[in-house]
Structure 1
Amino acid sequence: LLVVRGWLAWRVLDTQWPGFSGAPLAGAWPCLLGAALVLAGLGTRLFAPALLLIFAAASLPDFGWLAGLALLLALRGAGAWSLDGLIAAAIERRAPRLSALPDEVVDGLPQVVVVGAGFGGLAVARGLAEAPCRVTVVDKRNHHLFQPLLYQVATATLDPSDIATPIRELLRTQDNARVRLGEAAGVDRDARRLRLADGSTLPYDFLVLATGARHSYFGRDDWEPYAPGLKQIDDATAIRRRILLAFERAETSTDPVERARLLTFVIVGGGPTGVELAGSIAELAHHGLSGEFRHIDPAAARVILIQADARVLPAFPEVLSARAQRDLERLGVEVLTSARVEAVDADGVLVSGTRIGARAVFWAAGVMASPAAQWLGLEADRAGRVPVAADLSVEGWPGVYAIGDTAASLGWNGRPVPGLAPAAKQGGAYVATAIRARLEGRDAPAPFRYVHQGSLATIGRQSAIADFGRVRLAGGLAWWLWGAVHVAFLAQLRSRVSVAISWFWAYLTFRRGTRLVTGGDG
């Protein structure tokens, strides 16, 4: 890095700054200053983008090499033999990283336990990266999941690894964070300990419940084997298996009635998940599988979306909701609104007195919060969420907070905070700020206020809706925006690149790349 800095400093001195070509003396000072900064290694990461601009404006013949070296400095810093290195070493001596501290010192720090590694839980952990505490993230799965794209795994567009990232990988550079694979089972208020399902306990000074939500069948849990929901990777791969096996079995079936059942897909619930799942299955049938079967036409499949409300996507303005329904119907989806599901079994569903034969029924009609309220012995709201105060703390439980789908908060101008990823992230960042303020003896932050950044839902190719309050979009522009936002929200650069490539391929070819039947038969 020292040789790299030296060569770059010489090229800076050898290059006139744009705009100073007619005044060499005026252009010399910036060049001299820039060369000195590069050679000394002071603020190199910040100065590297300026180097790129300098070399690009000068149209140097060896611009490629110079740009690569400048990027190297931006990524790696100036190295140990530099002012940046000396400054970093001095800071390290005064405030050593936790990994360099004795175990007894680290163990004596306040313990923050975060239950759940979703959007909210990770926001808490990352928000405490530089705080004087030890953070333990507990989750019964070893990965963080980007749930908004789970339906694309279920419909063979994306691979599970595209939207799931190991928690340890996300927190590997955070010295004060550790990960515990385990399932929470209760909380001991007096001992300030979190109980795990394996019988072990974790002590805490602060406890954050970010346990998310699960399926709700509104008291009819006996329907679940016939109508699986979509909340985890296992759910998505099981639904993908059901969809693809339905086409495979229809190909070999000689009974026209059974073939019709196999080629009928019913989605219960007209919210974003139901609409996106219905549209994606319809596109798979009409385009993704075309030409691959000899005895059936996949495009003849029926996709039926059942919604108990008077319109799909009721959280959106009525004009956007109507547009979404029209786009679904253009894809061939049969939309049944104001329809009530009365029974679900292996042969199909009973909807408002009408029997629909189907071998593949999927549930997207309701969610219920995790049993966190039961752990605390509190009365939950209708959705099973824990009531919280204005600062997202749980009253009567010192040091305990709840966020995301776990919390019943009125932080949206007196209205309930929605169960959306941005809401969970905002809640997690707020709780991290509140805990850090308490650790550092500062005043508590103002009450939590959720800032709604808009709602998005996609229906199919070049079809989506977006609601930003006064600004409402539909069609192709909303679809491209939906894609950009979802790629940006993914946890890793690798995932962003992989998803973007998969979508681009599917857009060009109309083909799905992960049409694999895996797991058990069903």
Structure 2
Amino acid sequence: MLTATVAAVRHRRANVIAVFLKRVDEALRVAEVTLYPFLDLVIRLWLAQAFWVSGVLKLANWDTALTLATYEYPVPWLDPFKAAVLGVTIEVLGSMLLAFGLATRLAAIPLLILTLVIQFEYRALDQHLYWVALFGWYIVMGAGPISLDRLLTSGLASSALPLVKPLGRLYASLTRYLGPVYQLGLRLWLASLWFAPVLIGRSFLEAVLGFVSPLLALGLATRLAAIGAALALLGSGVMGTDEIQTINRLYQLFLLGLIALRGSGPISADAILQRQLARWFPPLESWSDAALTDVPHVVVVGAGFGGIKAAHGLRLAACRVTVIDKRNYHLFQPLLYQVATASLSPADVATPIRALFRDQHNVRVLLGEVTDVDATARQVVLSDGTHIGYDYLVLATGARHSYFGRDDWEPYAPGLKRIDDATAIRRRLLLAFEQAENCADPEERQRLLTFIIVGGGPTGVELAGAIAELAQHGLTGEFRNIDPAQARVLLVQSAPRLLPSFPESLSEVSAQSLRALGVEVLTKSRVEKVDAEGALVSGQRIGSRTVFWAAGVMASPAAQWLKTDADSAGRLKVGPDLSVPGLPNVFAVGDTALSEAWDGKPVPGLAPAAKQQGAYVAGAIKARLEGRTGLPPFRYRHLGNLATIGRQAAVVDFGWFKLSGALAWWLWGVAHMFFLVDPRKRLSVAIEWFWAYLTYKRGTRLITGGKE
């Protein structure tokens, strides 16, 4: 059994090397997953077009094809007519299959044979040898992710089609047993082309290629060697002294790209070195479950930005981590208003928590609601009565909306903090237009088409702008009895201006942009009552069937669990290291914590702040596990404030740099896509936004929930 002390000592010894190797491995994996599919597609298309053009030209002039097969490159063991038919069929059909990545291995075999015939029976060119190398790659390794083969794999594997399963097993065996040998052969062949014992006096390109050739042959620092050779080729200009040299350099870049992205393979010095380092410095993933049971236990309550960052930050620490959340997804709250206004679907802004930690061996995800913390016994209590012990506790429980003591308003003015809130608001919003279409009473129709948003912070501003855009453009031409553009949108703010955390100049720009969208901006106006008929705003009755709340937040009851001091918003007061005073092993981050680490001012409740705090707490826990002291206090680095008002309208405040208008809108979009934790979500959100930008159409206008 591995004791906590031994684990900490071993981890402290290996930490620097382990972290470095892990970071390098992560970077290489990201590069492979991101770039290899596109390189594979480019190579397939390049090879396919060469054979496709030849085949189509021969089909267009069959007499020329017969003449070539008879006199120019006759095949002694084939009749000229059969040779021409077979050659054209392989060129046309094989190139099509290769381009689409359909039956790629089977298509590459005749293309490889045809290339060998051309090389040995017609004209010997280095280009043909590169073709052979690439076709051999596809026979052994198969097509990349952007191919029909990959798309159809799962479906075909479970189908009743004959030969599919045997072929699948054959392909897997080819890759498993011949793949390493082929990668070795490919490296040795390229190394032989460039090997030069004497490097002095040679050109820069020849010197670099001569230097990397033994590295490629040995498979030592293979990816770096391949990247260096590719950069040398690019730096000297892909264009060679003649057309043949230019083509050869292009194919060399293709092969170097495959080696750089797929690695050297198991038969290499890199693989041997990696196995040896794993024995010297065992990675956390190799620890047994029993070993992880004996290391310190870190419990993270809440899978928001701060909690996720803290848990990820402990991926190389000698500890086990339990992430507890009452929902099974991580929510990207900054874009939640777009779900509420039918711009995005819930799946675009939520990611399953378990998926985020699929590759982190020391993390366990637990679905449950924490209702109390026993700090004396070091246990968290779940709603089902379960007690979970901890050595370190990270509270990242977030916040909920606050009605400033008027919780009776909540049924009439829902807030926006959860997926359920967003879909409920979307339902109310879209249902208001549907009911107005069917309403014959002009006064009731006006109430249905009046939308009140309470609160002029970023959420209120973005919600008001999105509703106005939906009414002005998104629903155009879809109703017959009402004009959605005549909807009345009011934004009520008790403060003298919108966006109080922004500079006054940007607040004014925001107000002007909202008014340009048709939003009525009511500043210095206080909501005195909210009911089913509307709201009473500074003594004025405004009839509305749809009121949304974006005016305030209240932290979770974490302070009540610990029976410690909290501010008026319920936030835990934490020390310089984000630990709770009197409880050094309990930390609070994000909206749960009140930290004055922003030059003596409270850290704002923003996603970047929570992520910084989560990363700091992970570092503090690792330092304690390794016996290190003297960790500097947490300091918040303000990255700026961003808010969008509508189409091509946003405000950005970086302190030293302020921006508004279309450029700020693009910057806002890029920043929010960057902060999405799932790369796939970034792509789907970008496509959804681009479609909406071009067409004004929103594809998620679904009225869900309520009674059937």
Q: Per-residue deviation at 1:295? A: 1.1
Aligned to 2:485: 299
| SS in structure 2 at match of 1:335 | strand
Q: Which moved more, 1:188-197 or 1:61-70?
A: 61-70
Aligned to 1:264: 450
Aligned to 2:134: none
Aligned to 2:362: 176
Structure having the higher Rg: 2
Q: Separation in 2 of the partners of 1:63 and 1:344?
A: 72
Aligned to 2:633: 447
Aligned positions of 1:123-522 closer than 5 A: 123-521=309-707
Letter in 1 for 2:559: A
Letter in 1 for 2:511: Q
Q: Separation in 2 of the partners of 1:280 and 1:92?
A: 53
User: Any idea what the Cα deviations from partners look like across 1:312-363, whole Å, max 9, x if unmatched?
Assistant: 0011000010000000000010000000001111111110111111111110
Q: Is the 8 A contact 2:191 2:214 kept in 1?
A: no
Over 3 Å counting, the alpha-carbon distance change for 1:118 and 1:77 in structure 2 is farther
Q: Per-residue deviation at 1:74? A: 4.9
When you count strand as a share of all residues, which structure comes out higher?
A: 1
Over 3 Å counting, the alpha-carbon distance change for 1:94 and 1:285 in structure 2 is same
Q: Which moved more, 1:319-328 or 1:43-52?
A: 43-52
| SS in structure 1 at match of 2:601 | coil
Residue 86, structure 1, aligned to residue 272, structure 2: yes
Out of 7, 15, 20, the position equivalent to 2:186 is 7
Q: Separation in 2 of the partners of 1:200 and 1:289?
A: 49
Aligned to 1:58: 238
Larger relative contact order, structure 1 or 2 (CA cutoff 8 Å, min sep 6): 1
Q: Separation in 1 of the partners of 2:252 and 2:693?
A: 36
Over 3 Å counting, the alpha-carbon distance change for 1:75 and 1:351 in structure 2 is farther
Letter in 2 for 1:34: V
Q: Per-residue deviation at 1:92? A: 2.0
Q: Separation in 2 of the partners of 1:234 and 1:39?
A: 58
Aligned to 1:34: 212
Aligned to 2:90: none
Structure 1: where are the runs of 5+ without partners?
none
Q: Is the 8 A contact 1:97 1:175 kept in 2?
A: no
Out of 195, 207, 221, the position equivalent to 1:43 is 221
Letter in 1 for 2:522: L
Q: Separation in 1 of the partners of 2:284 and 2:686?
A: 37
Letter in 2 for 1:376: L
Q: Separation in 1 of the partners of 2:265 and 2:516?
A: 59
Over 3 Å counting, the alpha-carbon distance change for 1:202 and 1:493 in structure 2 is same
Structure 2: where are the runs of 5+ without partners?
1-178, 240-245
Q: Per-residue deviation at 1:469? A: 1.0
Letter in 1 for 2:211: L
When you count helix as a share of all residues, which structure comes out higher?
A: 2
User: Any idea what the Cα deviations from partners look like across 1:391-445, whole Å, max 9, x if unmatched?
Assistant: 0001111310001110010000111000000100110111111110000111241
| SS in structure 1 at match of 2:579 | coil
Q: Separation in 2 of the partners of 1:162 and 1:168?
A: 17
Q: Separation in 2 of the partners of 1:250 and 1:48?
A: 65
Q: Separation in 2 of the partners of 1:5 and 1:395?
A: 59
TM-score by length of 2: 0.70
Q: Is the 8 A contact 1:13 1:32 kept in 2?
A: no
- Which aligned runs of 4 or more in structure 1 are off by greater than 6 angstroms? 62-68
User: Any idea what the Cα deviations from partners look like across 1:152-200, whole Å, max 9, x if unmatched?
Assistant: 1111111111111111111111111111111111111221111111111
Aligned to 2:76: none
Letter in 2 for 1:318: E
Q: Per-residue deviation at 1:201? A: 1.3
Letter in 2 for 1:335: V
Q: Per-residue deviation at 1:37? A: 2.8
Q: Separation in 1 of the partners of 2:324 and 2:529?
A: 37
Q: Separation in 1 of the partners of 2:537 and 2:618?
A: 46
Q: Is the 8 A contact 1:155 1:280 kept in 2?
A: yes
Residue correspondences, number: 517
Q: Is the 8 A contact 1:9 1:34 kept in 2?
A: no
Q: Separation in 2 of the partners of 1:118 and 1:47?
A: 41
Letter in 1 for 2:675: F
Q: Per-residue deviation at 1:84? A: 2.3
Q: Per-residue deviation at 1:483? A: 0.6
Q: Is the 8 A contact 1:347 1:357 kept in 2?
A: yes
Residue 107, structure 1, aligned to residue 293, structure 2: yes
Letter in 2 for 1:365: A
Over 3 Å counting, the alpha-carbon distance change for 1:66 and 1:427 in structure 2 is farther
Q: Separation in 2 of the partners of 1:352 and 1:48?
A: 70
Q: Separation in 2 of the partners of 1:151 and 1:322?
A: 22
Q: Per-residue deviation at 1:7? A: 2.9
Over 3 Å counting, the alpha-carbon distance change for 1:9 and 1:315 in structure 2 is farther
Q: Separation in 1 of the partners of 2:659 and 2:397?
A: 33
Q: Separation in 2 of the partners of 1:159 and 1:48?
A: 43
User: Any idea what the Cα deviations from partners look like across 1:211-245, whole Å, max 9, x if unmatched?
Assistant: 11101000011111111111111111111111111
